[in-house]
Amino acid sequence: MRNPSWHRDEVILALNLYYQLEPGQISPRNPKVIELSEILNKLPIHNDSAQNSDFRNANGVGLKLSNFLAIDPEYPGKGMASYSKLDKQVFDEFHLNKSELSRIAKTIIQTANNTELTVKLYKIGEDEEDTKFSVREGETIYKLHKLSERNPKINKKKKESYFKKNGKLDCEVCGFDFLKKYGELGKGFIECHHRTPLAQFDGETKTTFKDLALVCANCHRMLHRNLSILSIEELKRITVTNY
């Protein structure tokens, strides 16, 4: 059985290390390459059943770094010409924005090194709609976002606070009220959306009920289609404009 293809999060971490090394330092014996191999094996992305004994070992990491040599216009040599479409895409995306690359990689690494957190993230599966798009920050940070939205204690406090203030649980974007539409069946039902943009997630963020917004399922899905830039207020403007 072959190991799974490299995920965007993994390519981001590899590219981040690539910029920390000189071409001559790209070797499976380099401690930094070995360290990245260990981190890749901790990421809450691939199931154990999809991994062979050589999964993301130092040799594989070294080969991935050599792929970037073939893409890098500043490298005078040839490098490994077997790079993937994703390798090229991530390289082009961050080549002129290394500070953003470093920020994202730092958060992914912090998360991977938090065993308790990664166990929770492993349990968060992908919705069918999630597979149709990818976020700039990668799946690991996206899962952090989803985990923060599923905290039952914080969700309960948010709903109680909102109901006490407004006397109802309606969508903060479009105003949809489940109780009004479905009667007793919809009583107390509403979803929670984390307001913090993915670019501000640091892997250690503690969610409070003030960080959450109450939204209907439709608006929540629309917010998740473009988490990097779409806020509650921006989506509300879209709904007003289109009606």
Instruction: Examine the domain organization and report whether 119 and 168 are in the same domain.
Output: no
The predicted structure's pLDDT at residue 87: 96
- Taking the chain (243 residues) in consecutive chunks of 10 residues, what is each chunk's mean pLDDT? 88 98 96 97 80 87 95 87 92 95 94 91 71 73 90 93 96 96 96 87 76 95 83 89 67
What does pLDDT average to over the chain?
A: 89
Last residue of a domain, one of 123, 155, 181: 123
Evaluate whether residue 215 is within a structural domain.
yes
Residues 82 and 188 in one domain: no
Residues 189, 232, single domain; the answer is yes
Which among 73, 91, 123 is the end of a domain?
A: 123
Of 108, 123, 138, the domain-final residue: 123
In a domain? residue 201 = yes
Question: Does some domain include residue 225?
Answer: yes
pLDDT one-digit tens code per residue, 55-78? 999 999 999 999 999 999 999 888
Do 20 and 106 sit in the same domain of this protein?
yes
Q: Are residues 153 and 101 in the same domain?
A: no
Q: How many domains does the chain have?
A: 2
Residue 198 and residue 165 share a domain: yes
Residues 117 and 189 in one domain: no
Cα Rg of the chain (Å, integer): 21
Q: In terms of residue numbers, what domain contains 237? A: 146-241
The pLDDT value given to residue 136? 81
> Regarding beta strands 212-215 and 191-194, do their DSSP bridges make them parallel or antiparallel, or are they unpaired?
antiparallel
Check residue 33 and give its pLDDT.
Answer: 98
Whether 140 is covered by a domain: the verdict is no
Read off the tokens for 160.
């109680």
| 117 and 15 in a common domain | yes
- Clarify whether residues 28 and 102 are in a common domain: yes
Do 27 and 98 reside in the same domain of the chain?
yes
Q: Does 20 lie in the same domain as 113?
A: yes
Cβ contact 214:223 at 8 Å? no
Comparing CA positions, the residue from 137, 231, 214 lying closest to residue 176 is 214
Q: Establish if 2 belongs to a structural domain.
A: no
